[in-house]
């Protein structure tokens, strides 16, 4: 919204400046070439001089009025000779100045039309891509003729970009030119190229040397964003979010510093347990600690650093397993939260840019509709004259306003739904869970839709206590799966967890039977098996039941089926509506 308001303000300012330019383009030829009575005049008169240059010829009027002692004939001859030469010289200056202003105004108007034309647009785009190809053709150990061609092409392109900049400054004016951020950027790039060329010609800098001024030429590629509306809106939205990105960068930097210092305290000088191999990722000093923490955040072989940390404290058989908490917290909080926030900001900016493009298209369509409506209205002027047309226009506008008010009243009566070019986020919508009624048809060919047992099962499965209890059972079953010993299958802990597994499977089986009784199995519409999330529940419970049934006959099949029990946490998706919305 703020970006849209900012862009609207820039458009209003641009329109105001365009209006001023159009006012300056008006050539008052009739006022210059005709007198007050409408007749053309070829030269300036004495009355014009005394009116326009009152201060310069004030003594002339004063002498005529007050000095009556001077003879009239002498005074007239002296004044006529003096004013005649000055009038002729002043008339020439005024005529030249007027011609210069007309010519300048005419040139600025034609230049402005040229700058805003489609041909000029494509010429600039072609020059930008030629500049890109020239820079991309540079490579190591290139021949001398290619270096000379690149040097000449760079100077020619720089001259063309300079001419483009000066042409825009002349046609738009300095104030209007520097209003645009892209024009300021273009001016910076052009002046950087000019300074680089001057330094190279005077031998201050080598032609192929790596310098900041030479790298500025690479920024010319971004000139294409000015002529590409969608890309320009994307860049504007990214620049508008720099404040939030800078805050996130600061938070990430503090996070890296804190964990680097903590890593120095925990693992400083302790990664030397293997003398035959030198560890590259260590916490021996602060710079190395920063690099190691950054490596973990990027996910590049971070588990190897964690294994080294565990071995530094005696290995997994002792208290060394406790240090993995440091690496897990660092990886989850840094990589999975902070680093991915950049992606979230980028996606949000893409949505902002898309909504901005949609809003611009809607504004253009609305302007075209208004323009066509006015053309149609004024082409059918009634016999009563333009006054009657104005009254009809007011009536049409009044009817349009009444229709808009009626639409607004209808919108107020409707539920709160997303409006505008950009849809509202799912988290902003009030998603109310509706209880699915009992579908028509009998369940298991026994229970009708009005059967008391079926109605009781329907009420039970939709009770909040039953739902929360099943969700708690899912969490506990997931914890029991994580607590199993994968190496010793028949250990005491696995035996105890096996009994809990029987209990969880029985509870989940009862839940599925209650739901099938309430909704039916799969024959009619709205039945249990016609929902993908319900099929996931049925798969998980069915795998557990089958693994219990064939436990003694096929050990390998049992292992495969028991591995599928890890899908149990996914059953929480069907209970947590927020997760269910995200999965959809």
**Distance in angstroms (rounded) separating the CA atoms of residues 575 and 470:** 9
476 — pLDDT class (breaks 50, 70, 90): confident
Structure-model confidence comparison of residues 316 and 1, the more confident one? 316
**Distance in angstroms (rounded) separating the CA atoms of residues 178 and 422:** 32
Q: Specify the residue for token string 């799912």.
A: 426
Q: What angle, rounded to 10 degrees, do the helices at 386-413 and 340-379 form?
A: 150
In this prediction, residue 159 carries a pLDDT of 92
In this prediction, residue 299 carries a pLDDT of 86
**Distance in angstroms (rounded) separating the CA atoms of residues 214 and 199:** 11
272 — pLDDT class (breaks 50, 70, 90): confident
In this prediction, residue 362 carries a pLDDT of 66
Question: Is the Cβ–Cβ distance between 422 and 354 less than 8 Å?
Answer: yes
The pLDDT tens digits of the residues spanning 434-449 come to 666 777 777 777 878 7
Residue 211's alpha-carbon distances to 155, 198, 214, 215, in angstroms, are 17, 14, 5, 6
pTM for this predicted structure: 0.46
pLDDT at 62 over 80: no
Q: Specify the residue for token string 């028949």.
A: 490
pLDDT at 86 over 70: no
Name the CATH superfamily, with its identifier, for domain 452-583. Voltage-gated potassium channels. Chain C (1.20.120.350)
pLDDT at 236 over 80: no
**Distance in angstroms (rounded) separating the CA atoms of residues 327 and 336:** 13
In this prediction, residue 295 carries a pLDDT of 92
The pLDDT tens digits of the residues spanning 277-297 come to 778 888 888 889 899 999 998
Residues 138-144 have a mean pLDDT of: 86
User: Where is mean pLDDT largest: 15-24, 64-73, 154-163, 220-229?
Assistant: 154-163
Non-local CB neighbours of 413 within 8 Å, separated by 6+ positions = none
The pLDDT tens digits of the residues spanning 7-54 come to 667 666 667 766 766 666 665 444 444 444 444 444 444 444 444 444
99 — pLDDT class (breaks 50, 70, 90): confident
Q: Do domains 234-365 and 452-583 have the same CATH topology?
A: no
Residues 371-387 have a mean pLDDT of: 58
pLDDT at 334 over 60: yes
Tokens of 380: 């059918």
**Distance in angstroms (rounded) separating the CA atoms of residues 546 and 117:** 75
Mean pLDDT taken over the chain:
71
**Distance in angstroms (rounded) separating the CA atoms of residues 440 and 449:** 6
The pLDDT tens digits of the residues spanning 142-189 come to 898 998 998 899 889 889 989 999 999 998 888 888 887 778 888 888
Tokens of 20: 């001023």
Per DSSP, helices labelled H in 116-226 are 118-136, 144-172, 174-177, 181-201, 212-215
CATH 3.40.630.30 holds for 234-365: no
CATH code of the region 111-227: 1.20.120.350
**Distance in angstroms (rounded) separating the CA atoms of residues 94 and 271:** 89
Q: Checking phi first, is residue 41 left (phi over 0); if not, alpha (psi -120 to 50) or beta?
A: beta
> Where do the structural domains in the chain lie, given as residue ranges?
111-227, 234-365, 452-583
pLDDT at 467 over 80: yes
Q: What is the Cα gyration radius of the chain? A: 41
Any idea how long the chain is? 584
Q: Specify the residue for token string 């997303």.
A: 418
User: Where is mean pLDDT largest: 71-75, 327-331, 519-523?
Assistant: 327-331
**Distance in angstroms (rounded) separating the CA atoms of residues 106 and 86:** 30
Residues 372-376 have a mean pLDDT of: 67
In this prediction, residue 380 carries a pLDDT of 54
Residue 480, CB-side half-sphere exposure with 13 Å CA sphere: 22
Residue 103's alpha-carbon distances to 19, 98, 173, 224, in angstroms, are 20, 9, 16, 33
571 — pLDDT class (breaks 50, 70, 90): low
pLDDT at 539 over 80: yes
Structure-model confidence comparison of residues 359 and 43, the more confident one? 359
Each residue of 441-476: b (16+ CB within 10 Å) or e? bebeeebeeeeeebeebbeebeeeeeeeebeebbee
**Distance in angstroms (rounded) separating the CA atoms of residues 168 and 37:** 41
């Amino acid at each position: 919204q703020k970006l849209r308001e900012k862009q609207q303000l820039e458009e209003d300012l641009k329109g105001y400046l365009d209006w001023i330019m159009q006012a300056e383009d008006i050539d008052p030829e009739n006022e210059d070439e005709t007198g007050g009575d409408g007749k053309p005049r070829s030269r300036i008169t004495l009355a014009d001089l005394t009116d326009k240059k009152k201060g310069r010829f004030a003594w002339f009027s004063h002498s005529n009025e007050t000095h009556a002692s001077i003879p009239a004939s002498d005074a007239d001859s002296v004044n006529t000779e003096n004013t005649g030469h000055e009038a002729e010289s002043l008339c020439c200056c005024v005529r030249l100045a007027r011609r210069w202003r007309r010519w300048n105004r005419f040139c600025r108007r034609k230049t402005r039309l040229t700058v805003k034309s489609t041909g000029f647009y494509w010429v600039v785009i072609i020059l930008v891509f030629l500049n890109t190809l020239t820079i991309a053709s540079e490579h190591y150990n290139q021949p001398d003729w290619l270096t000379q061609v690149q040097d000449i092409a760079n100077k020619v392109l720089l001259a063309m970009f300079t001419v483009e900049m000066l042409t825009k400054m002349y046609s738009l004016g300095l104030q209007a030119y520097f209003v645009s951020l892209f024009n300021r950027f273009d001016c910076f790039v052009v002046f950087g190229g000019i300074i680089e060329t001057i330094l190279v010609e005077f031998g201050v800098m080598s032609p192929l040397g790596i310098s900041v001024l030479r790298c500025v030429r690479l920024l010319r590629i971004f000139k294409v964003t000015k002529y590409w509306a969608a890309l320009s809106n994307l860049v504007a939205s990214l620049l508008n979010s720099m404040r939030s990105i800078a805050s996130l960068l600061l938070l990430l930097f503090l996070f890296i510093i804190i964990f680097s210092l903590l890593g120095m305290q925990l693992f400083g000088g302790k990664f030397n347990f293997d003398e035959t191999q030198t560890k590259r990722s260590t916490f021996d000093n602060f710079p190395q600690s920063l690099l190691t923490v950054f490596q973990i955040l990027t996910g590049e072989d971070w588990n190897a650093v964690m294994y080294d940390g565990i071995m530094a404290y005696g290995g997994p058989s002792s208290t060394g397993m406790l240090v993995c908490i440091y690496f897990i917290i660092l990886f989850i909080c840094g990589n999975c939260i902070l680093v991915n926030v950049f992606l979230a900001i980028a996606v949000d900016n893409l949505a902002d840019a898309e909504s901005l493009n949609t809003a611009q298209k809607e504004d253009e369509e609305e302007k075209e509709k208004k323009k066509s409506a006015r053309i149609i209205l004024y082409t059918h002027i009634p016999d009563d004259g333009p006054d009657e047309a104005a009254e009809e226009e007011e009536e049409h506008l009044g009817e349009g306003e009444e229709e808009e008010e009626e639409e607004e009243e209808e919108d107020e009566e409707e539920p709160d739904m997303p409006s505008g070019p950009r849809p509202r986020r799912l988290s902003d919508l009030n998603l109310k869970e509706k209880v699915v009624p009992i579908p028509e048809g009998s369940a298991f060919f026994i229970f009708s839709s009005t059967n008391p047992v079926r109605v009781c099962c329907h009420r039970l499965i939709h009770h909040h206590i039953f739902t929360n209890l099943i969700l708690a059972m899912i969490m506990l079953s997931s914890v029991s799966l994580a607590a199993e010993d994968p190496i010793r299958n028949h250990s005491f802990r696995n035996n105890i967890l096996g009994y809990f597994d029987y209990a969880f499977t029985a509870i989940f089986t009862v839940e599925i039977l209650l739901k099938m009784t309430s909704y039916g199995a799969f024959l009619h519409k709205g039945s249990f098996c016609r929902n993908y999330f319900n099929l996931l529940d049925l798969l998980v419970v069915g795998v557990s039941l089958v693994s219990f049934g064939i436990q003694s006959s096929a050990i390998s099949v049992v292992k495969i089926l028991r591995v599928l029990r890890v899908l149990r946490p996914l059953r929480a998706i069907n209970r947590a509506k927020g997760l269910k919305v995200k999965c959809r």
